[in-house]
Structure 1
Amino acid sequence: MENAVERVKIWFRFTPREGWFPQDTEGLWAAKVGDDTACVRNVAFLQNGVAEGDVVRYRTDSDGLHWAVGRVSSAGNCTIRVVPVPTGPLGRSPQAVHQRLSAFGLGGEVFSDDFPMVAFNVPAGADFTGIKTLLNRGQDEEWWHYEVGCGTDAWWNA
């Protein structure tokens, strides 16, 4: 089990997207693996290009904040974000989103009660084809909107 000394928050900077959240940073929990590297331990709601299990390099600023400067290695996992359509059959329920995707055993986190976006970690060995088929069906049938925050070649080629 990791101790508190090894767990750090890594901060990411990005350009806010128009019509999206105004934030330009996101902090993700990570486990230190070296003097300036850490393994991401949760799923990103806003930052693109990083997934749970990826190792990132960081620099520590004068305030003690650890800022990501690049990805060192990929775990092969993907990040998928799903937002239920409030007027659709799932309503605003993140639990209903989890239920629809439960057959794939994906771990996910809910952004907030006000904005029930679910960010899922899709493990490298998951059924990418089946997940993509269901995500597209759900979007076509207005259950949800989704985006891929971090996809691998295996994801895009499935």
Structure 2
Amino acid sequence: MRKLKMFCLSAVALLFANTTFAQDSEVKNYDQGFRLGFGLNGGIPTDNDYSWSLGGDVRLQYDLTKRTSLTLTTGFTNLFMKDKDGVEAKDLGFIPAKAGFKAFIWEDQFYVLGEVGAGFAVTNGYDQTTFLWAPGIGYANKYIDISVRYEDYNKFKTNQVALRLAYGFDL
């Protein structure tokens, strides 16, 4: 019985000691704010109609906390058609408009991002608007943002894996 009491007393003392150490850390306030980023995108479509893609974007980011943000992204993306037996095919250019959520998951630099929105075709006689969604992962520091994403375009009947290189700054 005496050993059980000593064990329980030691366990309680250990719990209080850990709690005491945890309270020594200082909680800092985080200033919420906006960031603006300019990116260059290159991708490889996963179907047989398009050979590659190239685009640019502007992303507005609002930091909810140090680890979570809301994003709005727009720009221009061009999907380049493959040559098919001498038939001249038209490239597809569109303007994406996406809203998203970004969460930093490791060391406040590595993140996951999910975006949904629409793609508005604007070139070569294409007259369609498609739903698009794009999950991705990335690395960001104070100025540089590098990410890889999968992007699906429902009505354009294609999707792609794209790399984004961007420069960003606080507003």
Greater share of strand: 2
Task: Find the structure with the greater CA-based Rg.
Answer: 2
TM-score (structure 1 length as normaliser): 0.32
TM superposition score normalised by structure 2: 0.30
* Bigger share in helix: 1
